[in-house]
Structure 1
Amino acid sequence: MNMNVLLVGESWTKHTIHVKGFDSFTTSEYEEGAHWFRSAMKEAGMDLTYIRAHEIDEKFPLDLGSLKEFDVVLFSDIGSNSFLLPAQTFNHSKRTPNRLQLVKDYVNDGGGFAMIGGYLSFQGIEAKAKFKGTVIEEILPVQLESGDDRVEIPEGAAPVVHNNHLVLKDVPEEWPGFLGYNRVTVKNESDLVMTIGKDNNPFLVTGSYGKGRTASFSSDFAPHWGPPEFVEWKHYNTFWKQLVEWLANN
């Protein structure tokens, strides 16, 4: 049976100001960071639906039934405001479904959910991701910091394996280094799988909520925190396949 996976976020637009003496001009470009993960899902034979950051208002499910069409939902580098402030609410003051609450209900009923780290994951840069205190923090296997939770490691640091979890079944203990991560704290009932950095920050944590399973991966699955050594790692696809299968309780 094919598994249906929903990936949300991991895209952005850059608007750059160029200054050349007296004159200046601007350029804009659009980028996506999901290429490597999408390739991993394709190789695993999984059906991936990719909702880019600017498509959430239009395409993210508005009811639990539609969300349940997916076996696993993943948020990557996308903040809570993109779910809580749809145009109908922000621009026209109309009531709309709380999509974060839908995710909580989805997991409570048996769905799988994971958050992947980044500048707009967990709390993120200047705490602008704003997941602290939301229902997403309730279902995650980790607690979030109240402020900016980023740790930059320009010299790189490799995560350390703490137990032989099923998600690491066919993955070696020696991992490539990463260039940063989000600080989080393991909840008492959760399973600490890997740590990273001098502070032994939780790198991979798994847990459950209601009938569903959840995971926290506190670094990025793409650049810049996820360097070429990771995204081109021969075990990259295997790890993500096994994590998604575990989340789906497959």
Structure 2
Amino acid sequence: MVSRVLIAGESWVSQSTHIKGVDSFTTSSYVTGVEPLRRALESRGHEVEHMPAHLVPAEFPGDADALGRYDVVVLSDIGANSIQLAPQVFEQAVPGTDRLGALRAWVADGGGLLMVGGYLSFTGFEGKAAFRNTALHEALPVELLPEDDRVELPAGANAEVTAAGHAALGGVEGEWPALLGYNRVRARENTDVLATLNGDPLVAVAGYGEGRSAVFTSDCSPHWAPKPFCEEWDGYARVFGGLVEWLAQ
């Protein structure tokens, strides 16, 4: 079955300062990390729309009709503030839409939600992703930490699959390539933890109302997901394809 997938996030602008003696100048570059995930899902026949991070504040869907264009919404390395603070709210102090509340209601009515890890996912770097105190938190299959939840694994660590037969893993077999970090979370009651990393949930899924939600607590692209994982391993498309297909019911 073809699913319509919205991926929000997975882009950024990097700025560098070059200092040469008494002189300096800055350069900027726009970078996307979505391509491994987009290619994986499109290779399984799904329709993927990417909403870059800089467009999320103005364009993220804010009601059931707008969300209804999709079967699955993926939030990847995009913080709660970017979704909640539309320009009219943040810049003009004009009341707007509680878009995370709308997303939670959409999941409860039958939608599929996947959160992928990163510095601006879950609680995130210095707590800046900030999903713990939002309406969306209760729709996730995991409890978020109140503090910076990143776990860096510079030497790499391999996932331990705990439910290989679950449809959300897409039939992947064998050892997974090493990952370099993840966001630490705690599984809720009645959540199925399908894979762990360093003893913590890596892939977890649950129902929420009439819908479903899932997390992949490491990254879908570098740096936590190095090339052997996200570009060279055929299991990558199976895992993320399986998650999307399970979420789309």
State the alpha-carbon separation in 1 of the partners of residues 88 and 37 from structure 2.
32
Shift of 1:147: 0.8
Quick one: which amino acid aligns to residue 84 of structure 1? Q
Match of 2:204 in 1: 205
- What is residue 141 of structure 1 aligned with on the other side? 141
Distance 1:89 1:207 in 2: 33
Aligned partner of 1:186 in structure 2 is: 187
Q: Which aligned runs of 4 or more in structure 1 are off by greater than 3 angstroms?
A: none
Secondary structure of the residue that 1:194 maps to in structure 2? Answer: strand
State the match for 1:77 in structure 2. Answer: 77
SS of the equivalent of 1:146 reads: coil
RMSD: 1.0
3-state SS of 1:230 partner: helix
Partner in structure 2 of residue 14 of structure 1: 14
CA contact (8 A) 1:160 1:173 kept: no
- Deviation for aligned residue 1:169: 4.2
Amino acid at match of 1:36: P
Distance of 1:16 and 1:71 partners within structure 2: 39
Structure 2 residue 24 is the aligned partner of structure 1 residue 24: yes
- Report Cα offsets for 1:13-72 as digits up to 9, x if no partner: 011111112111100000000001111121111111111101113321122111011100
| Corresponding position: 1:217 with 2:219 | no
Counterpart Cα distance in 2 of 1:4 and 1:28: 33
Counterparts of 1:44-193 in structure 2, within 5 Å, are 44-163=44-163, 164-193=165-194
Distance in 1 between residues matched to 2:110 and 2:174, nearest whole Å = 30
Q: Verify the 8 A CA contact 2:193 2:204 in the aligned structure 1.
A: yes
Q: Deviations over 1:126-162 (max 9, x none)?
A: 0100011212210000000001000101100001011
Q: Measure the CA separation in 2 of the matches of 1:102 and 1:131.
A: 14
Aligned residue-pair number: 247
Distance 1:238 1:169, change over 3 A: closer
Q: Which amino acid is the alignment partner of residue 108 of structure 1?
A: A
Matches of 1:143 and 1:58 in 2, distance apart?
Answer: 28
CA separation of 1:176 and 1:114: change in aligned 2, threshold 3 A: same
Segments of 5+ residues of structure 2 without an aligned counterpart are none
> Match for 2:30: what amino acid?
Y
1:170 maps to amino acid: G
Identity of aligned residues (%): 45
Amino acid at match of 1:40: A
Separation (CA, whole Å) in 1 of partners of 2:168 and 2:91: 43
Q: Identify the residue that residue 240 of structure 1 maps to in structure 2.
A: 240
Distance in 1, Cα, partners of 2:49 & 2:102: 18
Q: Give the gaps of 5 or more residues in structure 1.
A: none
User: What is the deviation of 1:220?
Assistant: 0.2
